[in-house]
């Protein structure tokens, strides 16, 4: 049977109201499709009893904290912006192993959120876990930070009861729900962006300096590929170095990978066939605007055997 977004919304509003009652609920949103749809859905159900929390972890794309909180507030959603980039960089210091990085991110994220939960005396956390997160986590493909039960985190440790209204849906249906809820297309139609943010796109230790470079490269890639239809397009900063030339001298610089994939639900993916001229333009812009970068590569790996992200 075809998915009916309106009925889904109606049912979930009733369910959320029945569970939360007159208590306060928190919804942490990263600005990604899933968490934004979740926040809008929960707001429909709870009104002022929902607090949307945006944690500025320092790992977001350019202007995200401002853009996202402005959209939430414009739609009447009670929104709190928490700046805690220092805590995240501290937690990620010295970590190079992908799972250690995810764990450090997750721990800092829930510690920060836990403080907000106590401050607002929230009893519930409404979370945008979707079906693919559960499948991949159960399959031990990776531990998603937003699938608490499956990764052995006890929500009560953080003082939270978890509600996951989107857990039966895959991304295309989540977008339909977003559209039916009246989210702007720039949000419900946007590319998936992982919870741990740009940290999933820095290979090796995550530092402020690397994130600054990657953020700039990401914005170039997103802008130049805005008219190329893709499931996700982004930049990655490798841990390796490579020689280039800067001011006529040899320079041992950084390597940026351009990643763009076609996919339905992120379970499998194929690389986007990008016109060569566009790739060349991206290369020029990145090496001009980020002098520390000496090489730009295009990743042609499908999933499987590869994954979409790099950690
Ligand atoms: P991979 O790299 O496993 O990614 O092929 C599949 C999809 O999941 C996104 N992704 C994440 N999303 N937390 C998230 O919320 C994460 O830790 C995470 N890791 C990957 C990725 O962007 C892709 O769409």
- Give the model's pLDDT for residue 302: 98
Distances (CA, A) of 241 to 244, 252, 287, 299: 10, 6, 14, 17
Q: Please identify, by atom number, the ligand 1 atom nearest to the C-alpha of residue 102.
A: 17
Instruction: Tell me which residue has its CA closest to atom 21 in ligand 1.
Output: 194
Output the CA angle 158-164-169, nearest 5 degrees.
150
- Give the model's pLDDT for residue 151: 43
- 140 in helix, strand or coil? coil
- Give the model's pLDDT for residue 194: 87
Instruction: List the chain pLDDT tens, one digit each, 311 residues.
Output: 799 999 999 999 999 999 999 999 999 998 999 999 999 999 999 999 999 999 999 999 999 999 999 999 999 999 999 999 999 999 999 999 999 999 999 899 988 988 888 899 899 999 999 998 888 776 655 555 555 554 445 666 655 788 999 999 998 999 999 999 999 999 999 998 888 999 999 999 999 999 999 999 999 999 999 999 999 999 999 999 999 999 899 999 999 999 999 998 788 999 999 999 999 999 999 999 999 999 999 999 999 999 999 99
- In a mutational test of the pocket of ligand 1, which residue from 141, 148, 200, 304 has the highest number of ligand atoms less than 8 Å from its CB? 200
> What is the distance in A from the centroid of ligand 1 to the CA of 171?
12
Q: Is the CB of 142 under 6 A from ligand 1?
A: yes
> What is the distance in A from the centroid of ligand 1 to the CA of 9?
25
> What is the distance in A from the centroid of ligand 1 to the CA of 22?
34
Q: Is the CB of 307 under 6 A from ligand 1?
A: yes
> What is the distance in A from the centroid of ligand 1 to the CA of 194?
5
What pTM was estimated for this model as a whole? 0.89
Q: Please identify, by atom number, the ligand 1 atom nearest to the C-alpha of residue 232.
A: 24
Instruction: Tell me which residue has its CA closest to atom 4 in ligand 1.
Output: 308
Q: Is the CB of 200 under 6 A from ligand 1?
A: yes
Instruction: Write down the H helix ranges in 181-298.
Output: 185-188, 208-224, 276-289
Please check whether residue 284 is in contact with residue 295, taking contact to mean a CB–CB distance below 8 angstroms. no
Q: Is the CB of 308 under 6 A from ligand 1?
A: yes
- Give the model's pLDDT for residue 150: 46
C-beta atoms surrounding 189 within 10 Å: 12
- Give the model's pLDDT for residue 99: 92
Determine phi and psi for 261, rounding to 5 degrees. Answer: -135, 155
Distances (CA, A) of 277 to 128, 146, 255, 282: 38, 38, 20, 9
């Amino acid at each position: 049977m075809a998915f009916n977004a309106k009925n889904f919304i109606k049912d979930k509003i009733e369910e959320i109201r029945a569970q939360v009652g007159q208590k306060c609920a928190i919804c942490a949103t990263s600005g990604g499709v899933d968490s934004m749809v979740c926040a809008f859905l929960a707001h429909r159900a709870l009104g002022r009893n929902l607090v949307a929390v945006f944690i500025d972890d320092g790992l977001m794309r350019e202007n995200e904290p401002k853009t996202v909180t402005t959209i939430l507030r414009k739609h009447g959603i009670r929104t709190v912006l928490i700046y805690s980039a220092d805590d995240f960089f501290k937690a990620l210091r010295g970590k190079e192993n992908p799972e250690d990085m995810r764990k450090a991110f997750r721990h800092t994220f829930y510690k920060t959120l836990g403080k907000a939960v106590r401050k607002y005396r929230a009893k519930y956390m409404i979370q945008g876990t979707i079906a693919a997160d559960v499948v991949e986590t159960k399959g031990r493909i990776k531990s998603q930070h937003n699938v608490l039960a499956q990764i052995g985190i006890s929500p009560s440790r953080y003082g939270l009861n978890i509600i996951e209204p989107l857990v039966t849906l895959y991304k295309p249906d989540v977008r339909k729900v977003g559209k039916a809820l009246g989210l702007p297309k720039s949000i419900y139609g946007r590319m998936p962006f992982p919870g741990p943010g740009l940290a999933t796109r820095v290979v090796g230790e995550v530092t402020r300096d690397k994130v600054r470079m990657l953020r700039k490269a990401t914005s170039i890639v997103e802008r130049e590929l805005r008219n190329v239809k893709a499931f996700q397009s982004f930049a990655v900063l490798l841990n390796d170095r490579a020689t280039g030339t800067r001011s006529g001298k040899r320079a041992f610089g950084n390597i940026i990978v351009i990643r763009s994939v076609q996919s339905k639900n992120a379970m499998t993916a194929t690389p986007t066939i990008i016109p060569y001229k566009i790739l060349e333009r991206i290369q020029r812009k990145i090496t001009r605007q980020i002098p520390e970068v000496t090489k730009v590569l295009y990743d042609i790996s499908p999933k499987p055997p590869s994954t979409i992200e790099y950690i």
